[in-house]
């Protein structure tokens, strides 16, 4: 059996074609009379929230049902995931599954739910790259030059993390491990303060969500050195993969959907099928493009394999570096 990794999923998942925006005709309605609540583990305005709202809108259109997005922020999305894990199992509550679903069990000494038993992953919706950027006056212009500079100045460089255990943090931790460099992490509460300190020169670099930082990179207020995914983004092809220099380096943020364990199989199948359909919908594809993100459209089995691979990768790194979110 082929091992599923981050590299397995790409725009190739769309090779079967793009569906018409009028997707409501493509599938029979969801169980009648239900309003579907989509739970997002982060505040409004971030990538998880934006993608979650796109998903809620397109699945609602597909099924012909009203949808509601609820933001339940806190503890790296643990509060939101716990709500779903202990909520209804009739298909009325769907989790917008974040990367923390694969990493939080290693970051937190106590979890209020069991992510491997209490929530069923049903569909991998989107892959969202991070972008490595350095402050404007740092005397490097490539990943190779950054590595050389860091080795010549051990412990003098730092990188901003938008929070402990996020993909922006772990992307940096993996980079320092694979390059054997000593670059100090500085944690912030969110992307905005981290960005402000990068712009003001208080931190040297960041691995930020590409949608958040690409306007600054394209404006020249920061210098982008490379994208964290294994391949160039079709929406930002000017940025080479870090993996071109650091062989094997490949990280991404991502968004999926899941439900509480015990949800009837017929409903799970309906959600899984719905994810595959909307990920070929031109409206969803175009909306994701504005986030420099690509739809994936993988079903439950492949999404579960992907999550298992993420747990294997990040669990080992988190243990080695003794990263804790408390």
Would the CATH topology of 6-128+252-320 be identical to that of 130-244? yes
* Sign for the pseudo-dihedral over CA of 74, 132, 313, 161: negative
Calculate what percentage of the chain has a pLDDT beyond 70: 90
This prediction has a pTM of 0.89
The structure tokens 């290693």 sit at 106
Number of H helices and E strands in the chain, helices first, is 10, 11
Residue 319, class by beta-carbon neighbours within 10 Å (0-12 exposed, 13-18 middle, 19+ buried)?
A: exposed
Which residue ranges make up each domain of the chain? 6-128+252-320, 130-244
Mean pLDDT of 278-285: 96
- Of 3.40.190.10, 2.70.180.20, 3.30.565.10, 3.30.530.20, the CATH number of 130-244 is 3.40.190.10
Topology of domain 6-128+252-320 in CATH is: D-Maltodextrin-Binding Protein; domain 2 (3.40.190)
- Residue 11 in this model has a pLDDT that exceeds 70: no
Q: Per residue in 87-111, pLDDT tens?
A: 999 999 999 999 999 999 999 999 9
Residue 245, class by beta-carbon neighbours within 10 Å (0-12 exposed, 13-18 middle, 19+ buried)?
A: middle
Distance CA(228)–CA(80), nearest Å, equals: 27
Instruction: Give residue 56's pLDDT.
Output: 97
Q: Per residue in 203-246, pLDDT tens?
A: 999 999 999 999 999 999 999 999 999 999 999 999 999 999 99
Question: Are the C-beta atoms of residues 59 and 36 closer than 8 Å to each other?
Answer: yes
Kindly report which listed range (13-22, 79-88, 218-227) carries the lowest average pLDDT score. 13-22
């Amino acid at each position: 059996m082929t091992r599923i990794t981050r590299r397995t999923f790409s725009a190739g998942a769309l090779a079967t074609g793009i569906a018409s925006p009028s997707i409501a005709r493509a599938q029979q309605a969801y169980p009648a009379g239900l309003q579907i609540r989509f739970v997002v583990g982060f505040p409004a305005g971030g990538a998880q929230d934006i993608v979650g709202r796109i998903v809620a809108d397109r699945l609602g259109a597909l099924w012909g049902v009203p949808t509601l997005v609820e933001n339940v922020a806190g503890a790296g999305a643990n509060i939101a995931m716990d709500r779903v894990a202990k909520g209804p199992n009739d298909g009325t509550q769907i989790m917008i599954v974040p990367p923390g679903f694969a990493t939080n069990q290693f970051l937190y000494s106590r979890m209020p739910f069991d992510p491997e038993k209490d929530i069923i992953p049903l569909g991998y919706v989107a892959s969202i790259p991070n972008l490595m950027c350095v402050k404007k006056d740092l005397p490097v212009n490539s990943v190779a030059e950054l590595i050389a500079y860091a080795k010549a100045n051990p412990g003098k460089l730092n990188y901003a993390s938008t929070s402990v255990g996020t993909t922006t943090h772990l992307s940096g931790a993996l980079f320092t491990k694979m390059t054997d460099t000593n670059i100090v992490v500085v944690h912030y509460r969110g992307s905005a303060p981290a960005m402000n300190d990068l712009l003001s020169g208080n931190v040297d670099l960041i691995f930020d969500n590409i949608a958040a930082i690409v306007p600054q990179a394209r404006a020249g207020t920061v210098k982008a050195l490379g994208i964290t995914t294994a391949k160039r983004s079709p929406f930002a092809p000017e940025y080479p993969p870090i993996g071109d220099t650091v062989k094997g380096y490949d990280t991404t943020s991502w968004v999926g959907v899941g439900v509480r364990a015990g949800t009837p199989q017929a409903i799970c199948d309906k959600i899984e099928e719905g994810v595959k359909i909307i990920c070929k919908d031109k409206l969803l594809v175009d909306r994701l493009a504005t986030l420099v993100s690509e739809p994936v459209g993988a079903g439950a089995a492949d999404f579960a394999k992907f999550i298992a691979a993420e747990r294997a990768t990040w669990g080992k790194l988190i243990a080695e570096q003794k990263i804790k979110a408390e």
